[in-house]
Amino acid sequence: MRSCKLPSGAAMPILGLGTWRMGESGRRRAEELDAVKYGLELGYPMIDTAEMYGEGVAEEIVGEAIAGRANRPFIVSKVYPHNATRAGTVAACERSLKRLGIERIDLYLLHWRGGARLEETFEAFHRLRAAGKIADFGVSNFDRGDMEDAARLDKGLNGSNQVLYCLSRRGPAFDLLPWMQKRSIPLMAYSPLDQGRLASNAALKRLAADVGCTPAQLALAWLLAQPGVVTIPKSSSRARVKENLGALDVKLTPQIVAELDRAFPPPKGKQALEML
Q: Which residues are identified as catalytic?
A: 53
- Residue from 81, 66, 134 nearest 111 by CA: 81
DSSP β-ladder status, 17-18 and 46-48: parallel
- Measure the CA–CA gap between 204 and 141, rounded to whole angstroms: 26
DSSP β-ladder status, 11-13 and 3-5: antiparallel
Q: What is the 3-state secondary structure (H, E, C) of 108-163?
A: EEECCCCCCCHHHHHHHHHHHHHCCCEEEEEEECCCHHHHHHHHCCCCCCEEEEEE
